[in-house]
Amino acid sequence: MIYKFFFKVINDEAETIDDFESNYLHLINRYLLLLFFIFLFYSIFIITFFGDMFVSIFLTVITFFWLFLMAIKGKTKRFRKVLKTAIISIFVLLTFIVSFFNIYTYKNAGVEYFYFCLLFAVPFFLNYKKDAFSIFFITFMISINFIVCLYFDFDFLSKSRFIEKQDFKTIKLLNILFSIASFLMDIVFITQKDSLIKGLITDRKEKDSTIKIL
């Protein structure tokens, strides 16, 4: 409901899309809205409690990126040819963002749990039968990043100077809670997507049956 309020003018744009396309578009927008609030919360949290202006600005820019994607009406139809490439690119981008923050927080803040959130989100955007290679590539990228960040310290990269040792427990707990919430939301969105697909299949069967009768 909130994204409809934010983009009422854009959503009023005349564009002919069928019911499935429209429902799937709203479902994607709700997912982007979830990402928007997660990144917005972290950008505010970091600047408020740690005063890390650089990271806060970095997260804010990404936050407005999700806002921009939400504003593109009919994205599933208008950009169908490049949509899969865009989805893969975003997953890779998010993977490197998780890796960056995992290293930036000395690997003590529980950021690595977000790798699993990314894996759970893959079925929402891609189809295992049609997009097997894309799913394999995304899984490979996430796995490589997870293993590399787990076994290498990257001492040559700068770490956060704003997080005290006693803060890591709080941040880790927060990241675990967000990871669990994201996982549950992934399940909800995947279930809704499956319901849309099943509804589309049922509708087509009914139309085919009507055509045969006629």
Predicted confidence (pLDDT) per residue in 95-123, tens digit: 999 998 888 888 888 898 999 989 988 98
Q: What is the mean pLDDT of residues 20-27?
A: 77
Q: What percentage of the chain has pLDDT greater than the value 70?
A: 82
Spatial neighbors of 145 by CB under 8 A, at least 6 apart, are 95, 96, 98, 99, 115
Give the rounded percent of residues in the chain with a pLDDT score beyond 90.
14
- What local confidence, expressed as pLDDT, does residue 208 receive? 66
Per-position DSSP letters for 4-67, written without gaps between them: HHHTHHHHTS-----HHHHHHHHHHHHHHHHHHHHHHHHHHHHHHHT--HHHHHHHHHHHHHHH
Query: Length of the chain in residues, anyone?
Result: 214
126 contact partners, CB below 8 Å, separation of at least 6: 84, 87, 134, 135, 138
Per-chain mean pLDDT for the chain: 81
Residue 210 in this model has a pLDDT that exceeds 90: no
CA distance 51 to 187: 34
Of 148-152, 188-192, 202-206, which gets the smallest average pLDDT?
202-206
pLDDT value of residue 10: 44
pLDDT tens-place string over residues 142-188? 999 999 988 887 777 778 888 888 888 888 898 999 888 888 888 88
Please choose, from the candidates 198, 95, 187, 178, the residue with its C-alpha nearest in 3D space to the C-alpha of residue 138. 95
